[in-house]
């Protein structure tokens, strides 16, 4: 059972969780999801799955169930074996109740080096994947992504503009955006000032090692956040922060 401990203490039913994790109905909303060990690691053996807990899996699923699109970096898509979303009956019902398309597409950000033409996120997706890249990506690679079924958008010269990724998604009618990493994509979104919400699960593990942090990139002035809710199942702590734009 997941319960809220802040701003008020209460037990949460499935409906309550949907209301907490739903996206605003109007305008763009970009939520970033991460799971971290208690000592700050975001992966075990290069993947986040080793840190995920039952409570984390519930809110992770809410993140993409209630979104128009799932945004992910190519490195993360490959490391995690992303194949696009395939809703089960519960997800299909939830998306229908919230007026969403039956399947949310995946949007992948890459400069070209980490996304091969046969990437599962392209070739095995149930709906066309959106690939965001830059002009320096080889033209034959861009053509191969398209041939594999992806829609390809060039949004930058030598690097991908996070701001243009988000504005393009909004123009495509995909304004409720669930970002699932990785760290460099998250860092670029912070630099662009387009993060609206940060959802962090602190899992009850100590990892040590050399695992990366949640966000990497250029140095920015600290972006102030406002704590929106704190939940727990007695082991994991589920935090929601809102950005102060």
- Total count of domains within the chain: 1
Reported confidence tier of residue 212, pLDDT bands at 50, 70, 90: confident
Examine residue 85 and state whether it is found in any structural domain, yes or no.
yes
The average pLDDT across 224-239 equals 97
CATH code, domain carrying 47: 3.40.430.10
SS (H, E, C) 109-133: ECCCCCCCCCCHHHHCCCCCCEEEE
CB 126 within 8 A of CB 105: no
- The pLDDT score that the predictor gives to residue 214 is 86
**pLDDT one-digit tens code per residue, 120-168:** 999 999 999 999 999 999 999 999 999 999 999 999 999 999 999 999 9
Provide the domain limits for residue 135. Answer: 26-243
Is residue 150 a part of any domain in this protein?
yes
3-state helix, strand, coil in the chain (%, to 5): 30, 25, 45
DSSP string for 124-172? T-SSPPEEEE-TTS-HHHHHHHHHTT-EEEE--SSS--HHHHHHHHHHT
Which region, left, alpha or beta, applies to residue 173 given φ > 0 means left and ψ of -120 to 50 means alpha?
left
Would you say how long the chain is, in residues? 245
Rounded-to-integer distance, Cα 46 and Cα 81, Å: 12
| pLDDT on residue 77 | 94
Work out the pLDDT band at 46, boundaries 50, 70, 90: confident
CA terminus-to-terminus distance, the chain: 34
Helix (H, G, I), strand (E, B) or coil at 214: coil
Written as six digits, the tokens of 70 are 């799932």
Q: Report if residue 136 sits inside a domain.
A: yes
State the chain's mean pLDDT as an integer: 94
The rounded percent of the chain whose pLDDT value lies above 90 is: 82
Task: Tell me whether residue 108 is in a domain.
Answer: yes
Is 185 within the bounds of a domain? yes
* Residue 8 forms part of a structural domain: no
Of the given ranges (19-33, 151-165, 214-228), which has the lowest mean pLDDT? 214-228
User: How confident is the model over 99-108, as pLDDT tens digits?
Assistant: 999 999 999 9
Q: Is residue 7 included in any domain, yes or no?
A: no
pLDDT at 210: 81
Q: Is residue 237 assigned to a domain?
A: yes
Instruction: Give helix 54-65 / helix 14-21 axis angle, nearest 10°.
Output: 60
Task: Give me the mean pLDDT over the 22-34 stretch.
Answer: 94
16 Cβ contact list (under 8 Å, min separation 6): 4, 10
Helix axes 162-171, 183-192, angle to 10 degrees: 80
């Amino acid at each position: 059972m997941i319960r809220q401990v802040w701003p008020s203490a209460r037990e949460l039913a499935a409906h309550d969780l949907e209301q907490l994790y739903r996206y605003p109905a109007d305008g763009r909303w970009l939520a970033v999801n991460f799971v971290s060990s208690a000592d700050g690691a975001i992966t075990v053996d290069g993947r986040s799955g080793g840190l995920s807990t039952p409570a984390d899996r519930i809110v992770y699923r809410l993140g993409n169930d209630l979104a128009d699109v799932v945004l992910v970096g190519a490195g993360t898509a490959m490391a995690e074996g992303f194949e696009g979303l395939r809703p089960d009956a519960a997800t299909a019902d939830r998306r229908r109740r919230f007026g969403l398309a039956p399947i949310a597409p995946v949007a992948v950000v890459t400069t070209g080096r980490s996304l091969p033409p046969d990437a599962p996120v392209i070739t095995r997706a149930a709906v066309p994947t959106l690939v965001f890249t830059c002009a320096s990506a080889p033209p034959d690679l861009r053509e191969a992504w398209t041939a594999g079924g992806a829609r390809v958008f060039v949004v930058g010269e030598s690097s991908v503009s996070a701001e243009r990724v988000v504005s393009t998604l909004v123009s495509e009618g995909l304004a409720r955006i669930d970002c699932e990493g990785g760290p460099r994509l998250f860092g670029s979104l912070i630099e662009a000032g387009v993060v609206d919400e940060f959802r962090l699960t602190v899992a009850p593990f100590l990892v040590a090692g050399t695992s990366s942090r949640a966000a990497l990139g250029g140095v920015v002035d600290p972006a102030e956040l406002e704590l929106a809710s704190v939940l727990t199942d007695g082991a994991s702590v589920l935090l929601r922060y809102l950005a102060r734009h």
